[in-house]
Structure 1
Amino acid sequence: MLNEFKTFIARGNVMDLAVGVIIGAAFNKIVESVVNDLVMPVVGAIFGGFDFSNYFLPLSSNVTAVSLAAAREQGAVFAYGSFLTVVINFLILAWIIFLMVKGVNKIRASVERQQAAAEAAPAPPPEDIKLLSEIRDLLKAR
C-alpha cells in the first residue's frame, strides 16, 4: 500500500495539481487586493462614496452599530455588502482566467498551425538530386 501511495504522489498530475492550488491561493490574494483596494473604492465613488463592505441589514433589534464588524458583535446581520464584494471578486477572477485560457488557446492554435504547415510542406530534395536536376535543365537548354 505504501508503494502505491508513492507511485500516486510521484505522478506528474498530482504535482501539477498541487502547484496549481498553491498558485491559485496566491492569485486569489492578488484578486482580493484588486477588488478591495482598487475596484470597490472606484465603484463606491461612482455610487456616492459608500463602501459596499459595510452594507448590512440588522436581523436583531440589538444591532445599532454602523460598521459591519461592530454589528456582528452585537448580533445577527444580513451582510449583503460583503456578499456583493465577493461576487465582484469572483467575476474579476473568472474574467482574468477566461483571458488567460483564451490567450493560451490562441498560442496553442498558432503552434499547431505552424506544425501542420511544416508537416504539409514537402521536404527539400537532397543536394545530389538538386545537382542532378540542374545538370538535366542545362542539358535540355542546349
Structure 2
Amino acid sequence: MELMDSTSDEPIPLPVHISKPDHQLSGHEFGKSKTRFGMLKDHRSKRLLKPIIDIRGKREYDFYQTVWNSSDVKLQSFVPKFYGLVTIENIKFIQIEDSMEGLANPSNMDIKIGSITYDPGADVKKIEEETSKSQWQAALGFRICGFRVI
C-alpha cells in the first residue's frame, strides 16, 4: 500500500502494517479521493488514522482534543477514543479508536449529521455538489452515506 503525496504523482511507500480499513463505507477513500488521501488503519496499534490535509482535518483534530480534554464522560462515550497525532512520510494523521476492532461480523452505518455539510467559505460548485447528494438532508438534518449489514 502506498500513500500519494498531494504535490506529486509519485507514490510514497507505507509501512507494511498500515492499509485501508476493510469496513470503510464512504468518505475520503485512500488512493481515490481528490487529494488521494483518506483513512488508513494501523494494524499494530489497531487504530484508525485520519489525515490532516486541510482546515477540516485541523477542525476534526481540535474537536477530538476538546472532547477528550474535557470531563464530559457522556459525550466521550459516543466518540472514538483519541490518541493524538502520528506522522507518516511527512503527513500528520489523527489516531482514533477503531470501534469495529474485535467484532467478528460488524454491521455498520455512516451517517452525515447536519443540514449543511459544506464549509461557510465553500464556492457555488461545492455547495451544489453537497446539496445534490440528498434532497432530504436539509429538512431531516442528516443523511445516510452508506451501510452494511452482515
TM-score (norm 1): 0.24
Structure of larger gyration radius: 1
More helix by share: 1
TM-score (normalizing by structure 2): 0.24
Structure number with the higher strand fraction is 2
